[in-house]
Structure 1
Amino acid sequence: MFLNLLYATALVMLSPVVLYRMIRHGRYRRGGSQKLFGLSRHHAAQLRGDHGRVIWLHAVSVGEVNLLPELVKRLAVRSPDAAIVISSSTDTGYDLAVKHFGADRVFFCPLDFTWAVSRTLRNLQCSHLVLAELELWPNLIAAAERLGCPVAVVNGRLSERSAAGYQKFARLLTPTFARLSMVGCQDVVTAKRFVDCGVERTRTRVTGSLKFDNAPRSRETTEVASRMNWAGVDAWHRVWCFGSTQSGEEALAIRVFHRCRQEHPELRLILVPRHPERFDSVADLIVANGDRVVRRSRNDSQFDDQWESDEVILVDTIGELKHWWGVAQIATVGGSFGDRGGQNMLEPAGYGCAVSFGPNTKNFDTIAGRLLDGGGAVRVADEDELEQFVRRCLDDIPAADDLGRNAQSIVDEHRGAYDRTIDMLGIGDSRSQSKRRAA
């Protein structure tokens, strides 16, 4: 009851912000009933179909959703009698999940009110709940335990700062961690943090990061080829992709691009903002700086002519960044020059790009550290160092290619997390069947 009151108070306090974003950016308009009241019996029945039980996978947004297709594929093989349904908390995550799995398998995750999460679990007849990375919702996890539905975390990550924050509220949150049936962690340090927060040691496994397995293996795909043709890329071009950008990073990229192309007219720039509500403002920024903007969403056919030096491609669509990294030889991962804490740098690494990122990668510290230690990426402190990095990649192409090859080798070395994760979950195999019978 206390948590419900706390959530309701927070919702009321944030309502002006929510209302503004609904009106200004069109966010939070969909799925209101599912979020506030949970899944109805009718909608849950549609998701469940003819299956006798349901495996519910939750991924908060785009990055987590992108981890699920391979996991869903493997779970479907091991549990053909189960419906596998996917929830997300954001509009972009929901849309990407629909793109991957179809609208008949996707719903908006209920807010962590007791009535909403209990109703969803009951109506789904959920047999397993799997959380991607970590979505710590005490009411949801407690309701699942009451209904006999084990809750597992896959690709678990828990930063030092987050773990310290959770431990400050140990009386409230330790029972939630203790209820987790299994946690697949990205590394040993993360596993220890989960234990320190209350997970039983025997319920943790070091499975590695699914992002290594999910990273591309080759540029020789139809998805990459179609984007290269669309953009008019040829062998003369050197393409720099700055992806998952947050406010301020696009302006930084444009300034560096303008200075570098004076000596290197072969340089081309692709910008991929993280949030859809910023697409229009980034397009305006490109034009204001004297370039022509080519918007992916408004140009569905390939260029009639070659990509010109004053054209900047703006990828203003969802779920495409993974393939655009493959168009580039030089990559800068956004969200790392401000306070966001970085984004996934393994996708450009998998393609063998010369990878760089800014000083703040707190959300991907382990992955960033492995790439840096293995000579597969470069951390730059500011705009000047970023310009130096781009210039080196243009002046010394063999060295840039070596950086990319190192990145690919590191990615390949750490693959195998999906196998370990599926083994940890034990859903659908003889172990899980015997556990259910014993229960």
Structure 2
Amino acid sequence: MFFFFYNITSIFLVLPVSLYHWYRSVSRGRSPAFKERFGFLPREELAKIGGRPVIWLHAVSVGEAIAARPLLKALRAKYPCHAILVSNTTETGRAITSSFPEKDISLYFPFDFLPAVRRALEHIKPELIIIMETEIWPNFTRQAALRGIPVILANGRISDRSYSRYLAFKWFFRHALQLFSNLCMQTEVDRERIIAIGAPPERTLRIGNLKYDIPFRHLSPEDIIALKEHYTIPHELSVICAGSSHPGEEEHIISAYRELLVSRSDLFLVLVPRHPERAANVAALLANAGLAYRRRTDLAATSDVMFRSGEVLLVNTIGELMGLYALSDVVFVGGSLVPTGGHNLLEPASVGVPTIFGPHMTNFREIAALVLQHQAGIQVDTPADLAEAFQKLLSEPVLRQELGRNGLLMMRENGGATERHMEIIAGYLDTKFPSNNTKQRSN
């Protein structure tokens, strides 16, 4: 009965949802890709399946895509004869995953409209579906179950901010949650929360966080110099990278940078807004502050002109954050000075760079606690504390190196979630395709 009323309601929602999606895409200068989102998949993409069994992994946006990378590498290594399809909801997520060599096919996830879902599943016919973190779509999950396709929730989490909303709509989500074959949650708190929302306890497991399995290494001085040269940054400058910044944070980052420049002549700032389409707004802030800057997309035309101390690289691209973190001396991770919930602190930790972050880390509470426990970063209470934290790490190289080493140790001690996820996945694929993990990839 629930699904009957859900589908009746969805008929009336198709038009407003489509109009909203069209406006959102066009206003950001991107294609709405309605054909894929309604299940009409490109023939050239479907041809890449080539008769192979398909593993379908869905990662909503950039964060989920990056978290999925260790799992994708493991899937490619263990199942070389399977076609791996990666779907995304956002354009930025699609841009990231399109460059992943482990995948065979990139598509947009269909709207949870019954004809769209049926059409997509009938075209793809996956043997297994893996959904990253917390995406609960009733029609998609039910149609997969009706076709006997196992659906696994991987790296699942329920944030503090969303938990109350999920509970309030428990009557809605429990119907889909009951259809998941397994729900692999990051922490025991996440496990308890999703069970309270309606997940079956016997199929809900605490597996750990895939983000700890990001490949980690400490770069050599030669590697760092080469990275700096790639971005036309003089190797003698100390680099602050502010990554994944949000509205309301850039003003404080710029203010802290200007304050430091009063007493230092060896500084350089890399500023990476979370959403590249905001680059024009951030550029206006830099201009108003009297700071010279160049956009990342302009570097090719000015590759023979090195940056100078006091200038700014404004990054208006995606997919480069890890390299920018690696060349930096200190990293500030955004979404944490404003009540957004924070972003992933493990990325700078994985390249041995100390992290500064603000008080709003509700979406990454476990990771923030571990960073502080391992003394791999500094948490500031207010935006006014940002300049002092930068100055402390920049002026104390021994402390900076110690925090960087602690971050690498933290990554080493908390890994293993990929292997545990693969054990669950193998239970669905190995009995059906016992020889596929030994064959060579044939495409």
TM-score, normalised relative to structure 1? 0.90
1:24 aligned residue (13, 20, 27): 27
Q: Which range is displaced more, 105-114 or 199-208?
A: 199-208
Code of the aligned partner of 1:46: A
Counterpart position of 1:50:
51
What's the CA shift for 1:330?
Answer: 0.7
Residue-by-residue CA offset, 1:398-429 (whole Å, 9 max, x unaligned): 22222222222112111121111111211676
Q: Structure 2, unaligned stretches of length 5 or more?
A: 435-443
What's the CA shift for 1:123?
Answer: 1.4
Residue-by-residue CA offset, 1:66-123 (whole Å, 9 max, x unaligned): 2334322322333333211110011111112111149961111001111111211121
1:206-355 equivalent positions in 2, closer than 5 A: 206-220=206-220, 226-234=226-234, 236-300=236-300, 303-304=303-304, 306-355=306-355
Code of the aligned partner of 1:172: F
Code of the aligned partner of 1:153: L
Q: For the Cα contact (< 8 Å) 1:44–1:120, is it kept in 2?
A: no
Aligned partners of 1:20, 1:203: CA distance in 2, in Å? 39
Q: Which range is displaced more, 409-418 or 1-10?
A: 1-10
Counterpart position of 2:155:
155
Residue-by-residue CA offset, 1:131-152 (whole Å, 9 max, x unaligned): 0112111111111101100100
What's the CA shift for 1:15?
Answer: 6.1
- SS of the equivalent of 1:391 reads helix
What's the CA shift for 1:193?
Answer: 1.6
1:346/1:302 CA distance change after superposition, 3 Å: farther
Counterpart position of 2:437:
none
Q: For the Cα contact (< 8 Å) 2:117–2:139, is it kept in 1?
A: yes
1:119/1:217 CA distance change after superposition, 3 Å: same
1:72/1:361 CA distance change after superposition, 3 Å: same
Q: For the Cα contact (< 8 Å) 1:238–1:328, is it kept in 2?
A: yes
- SS of the equivalent of 1:100 reads coil
Aligned partners of 1:8, 1:339: CA distance in 2, in Å? 35
1:344/1:168 CA distance change after superposition, 3 Å: same
- SS of the equivalent of 2:401 reads helix
1:377/1:180 CA distance change after superposition, 3 Å: same
1:270/1:45 CA distance change after superposition, 3 Å: closer
Aligned partners of 1:196, 1:234: CA distance in 2, in Å? 54
1:222/1:75 CA distance change after superposition, 3 Å: farther
Aligned partners of 2:46, 2:303: CA distance in 1, in Å? 46
1:356/1:9 CA distance change after superposition, 3 Å: farther
What's the CA shift for 1:261?
Answer: 1.2
Q: For the Cα contact (< 8 Å) 1:271–1:314, is it kept in 2?
A: yes
1:2 aligns with 2:5: yes
What's the CA shift for 1:347?
Answer: 0.7
Counterpart position of 1:91:
91
- SS of the equivalent of 1:264 reads coil
**Higher relative contact order by CA 8 Å / sep ≥ 6: 1 or 2?**
2
1:171/1:104 CA distance change after superposition, 3 Å: same
1:88/1:384 CA distance change after superposition, 3 Å: same
Aligned partners of 1:82, 1:338: CA distance in 2, in Å? 43
Aligned partners of 1:221, 1:32: CA distance in 2, in Å? 47
What's the CA shift for 1:432?
Answer: 5.7
Counterpart position of 2:438:
none
Q: For the Cα contact (< 8 Å) 2:54–2:124, is it kept in 1?
A: yes
Counterpart position of 1:437:
none
Q: For the Cα contact (< 8 Å) 2:86–2:103, is it kept in 1?
A: no
Counterpart position of 1:373:
373
1:43-192 equivalent positions in 2, closer than 5 A: 45-51=46-52, 53-101=53-101, 105-192=105-192
- SS of the equivalent of 2:355 reads strand
Q: Which range is displaced more, 335-344 or 82-91?
A: 335-344
1:103/1:368 CA distance change after superposition, 3 Å: closer
Aligned partners of 2:104, 2:417: CA distance in 1, in Å? 28
Q: For the Cα contact (< 8 Å) 1:264–1:394, is it kept in 2?
A: no
Residue-by-residue CA offset, 1:34-53 (whole Å, 9 max, x unaligned): 11x214484663242231x2
Residue-by-residue CA offset, 1:233-287 (whole Å, 9 max, x unaligned): 4553221100011112222111110011111211210000111211222223222
Counterpart position of 2:389:
389
Aligned partners of 2:102, 2:412: CA distance in 1, in Å? 30
Aligned partners of 2:258, 2:432: CA distance in 1, in Å? 58
What's the CA shift for 1:7?
Answer: 4.2
CA RMSD between the two structures: 2.5
